[in-house]
């Protein structure tokens, strides 16, 4: 005998389908700066930020106008650092215009062509060529990332500069003005390279060059004091050995350690931040898979994403639900907790309900009592509705600590 479908069950299915279908995929918008959470002051001495901000890959694409050139920032976290670098950039510009520096630079150009830094004449256009945000992370579990390892990891891979002492001069200079010696800010990096080159090849003591500078520039590294000091004081090879030892102690396989530390987007400073954050979280179960995933970062923003996931996981655990293990089923780490929950830290500026976010929301998370997501920025109404329809509990505007 053919069974008649239960009417209540049919209605429940129709309602569930309708709730999901009502949330249509949406394009990423252009927003006002007031629509973003946790931004630094958008106007100050020597800089201003455009009021309208396109969102690409869930990150705001900020343009910062400074007295020494325009720079772009892929996301709010990068914007914090770019604005903090405005003061050091002004100090470096002041030094570059002094008689002692101009004379030293002239000598260095004649004496050591190998010491010339990599100048970027149009940093805004250069950065536009790099994929924006972390859009590819929120896709189906089957999508895979390619390796971004490179034998030339900036100054970390330049043995010639290490041997000549140029890298040491660059780190000392960066420490004096309070900036990351491995910054990707082209305006600052170009001046650091030029001054370090002058200090070495121009035959001028760095202390003499710095004597014309004013003191008191605030530290621009967006990491802990420990990481800042290590990045300034240790040569890149020593930093790499330290990071390798820290990760090995957490049970990370040699191949995965080598892949992450050889990835050009994990500069010595970034790699220090990753290793330090991982050590502070103190979770070994699944750590190897997470490092293998993080090693495939294809941009600086993607590398920062994984570091921030570790930081946010520690913040979550401080609330009383300890992190017990990490899973990496797709391209975003999922943290399993002592309370049986699945926690996903999402360091992103603005989450639209794109096809990628919908696919992520529907991804099965087996055995989780609760599915919890923390977002450093904000989500659109459609994204909130779509995530909640799939059983996710979303917390917005989470500040990184």
pLDDT value of position 24: 59
Residues sharing a CB contact under 8 Å with residue 395, sequence separation 6 or more, in sequence order: 372, 373, 374, 375
Separation CA 19–CA 300 (nearest Å):
37
Longest Cα–Cα distance in the chain: 99
> What residues pair up with 71 in beta bridges, in sequence order?
64
Separation CA 123–CA 39 (nearest Å):
22
pLDDT value of position 191: 87
pLDDT value of position 177: 86
Does 199 score more than 80 pLDDT? no
Does 114 score more than 50 pLDDT? no
Does 343 score more than 90 pLDDT? yes
Beta-carbon neighbour count of residue 322 at 10 Å? 13
Separation CA 225–CA 145 (nearest Å):
32
Please give the torsion angle defined by the CA atoms of residues 94, 118, 161 and 104, in that order, rounded to the nearest 10 degrees.
-40
Mean pLDDT of the chain: 82
pTM (predicted TM-score): 0.84
Each domain of the chain, given as residue ranges in start order, spans 83-210
Which pLDDT tens digit goes with each residue over 247-290? 999 999 999 999 999 999 999 999 999 999 999 999 999 999 99
pLDDT value of position 130: 60
pLDDT value of position 210: 60
pLDDT value of position 138: 81
The whole-number average pLDDT for the span 185-205 is 79
Q: How many residues in the chain? A: 401
Q: Which of 327, 338, 333 is nearest to 374 (CA)?
A: 333
The whole-number average pLDDT for the span 126-148 is 62
Residues sharing a CB contact under 8 Å with residue 220, sequence separation 6 or more, in sequence order: 81, 84, 85, 87, 88, 178, 179, 180, 183
Does 358 score more than 90 pLDDT? yes
pLDDT value of position 311: 96
Percent of the chain residues topping a pLDDT of 90: 59
pLDDT: which is higher, 73 or 191: 73
Query: pLDDT confidence of 204, banded at 50, 70, 90?
Result: low
Which pLDDT tens digit goes with each residue over 14-64? 344 444 444 557 999 999 999 999 999 999 999 999 999 999 999 999 999
Which pLDDT tens digit goes with each residue over 318-337? 999 999 999 999 899 999 99
């Amino acid at each position: 005998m053919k069974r008649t479908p239960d009417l209540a069950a049919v209605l429940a299915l129709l309602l569930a389908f309708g709730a999901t279908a009502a949330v249509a995929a949406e394009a990423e918008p252009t927003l006002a700066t007031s629509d973003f959470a946790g931004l630094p002051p958008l106007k100050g001495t020597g800089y201003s930020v455009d009021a309208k901000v396109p969102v690409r890959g869930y990150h705001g694409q900020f343009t910062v106008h400074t007295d020494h050139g325009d720079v772009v920032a892929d996301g709010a976290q990068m914007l914090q650092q770019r604005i903090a670098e405005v003061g050091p950039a002004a100090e470096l510009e002041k030094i570059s215009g002094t008689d002692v520096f101009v004379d030293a630079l002239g000598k260095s150009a004649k004496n050591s062509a190998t010491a010339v830094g990599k100048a970027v004449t149009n940093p805004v256009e250069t950065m536009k060529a790099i994929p924006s945000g972390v859009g590819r992370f929120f896709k189906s579990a089957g999508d895979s990332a390619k390796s971004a390892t490179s034998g030339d990891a900036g100054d970390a891979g330049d043995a010639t500069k290490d041997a000549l002492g140029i890298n040491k001069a660059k780190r000392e200079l960066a420490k004096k003005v309070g900036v990351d010696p491995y910054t990707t800010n082209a305006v600052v990096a170009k001046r650091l390279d030029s001054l370090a080159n002058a200090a070495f090849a121009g035959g001028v003591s760095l202390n003499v060059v710095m004597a014309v500078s004013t003191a008191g520039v605030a530290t621009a590294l967006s990491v802990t004091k420990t990481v800042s000091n290590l990045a300034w004081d240790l040569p890149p090879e020593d930093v790499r050995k330290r990071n390798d030892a820290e990760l090995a102690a957490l049970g990370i396989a040699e191949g995965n350690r080598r892949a992450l530390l050889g990835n050009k987007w994990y500069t010595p400073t970034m790699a220090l931040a990753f290793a330090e954050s991982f050590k502070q979280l103190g979770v070994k179960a699944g750590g190897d898979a997470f490092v293998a995933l993080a090693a495939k970062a294809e941009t600086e923003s993607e590398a920062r994403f994984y570091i921030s996931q570790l930081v946010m996981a520690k913040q979550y655990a401080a609330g009383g639900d300890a992190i017990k293990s990490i899973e990496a089923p797709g391209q975003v780490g999922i943290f399993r907790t002592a309370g049986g929950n699945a926690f996903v830290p999402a360091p992103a500026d603005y989450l639209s309900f794109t096809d990628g976010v919908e696919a992520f929301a529907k991804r099965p998370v087996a055995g989780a009592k609760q599915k919890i997501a923390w977002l450093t920025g904000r989500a659109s109404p459609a994204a909130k509705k779509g995530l909640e329809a799939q059983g996710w509990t979303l917390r917005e505007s989470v500040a990184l600590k």
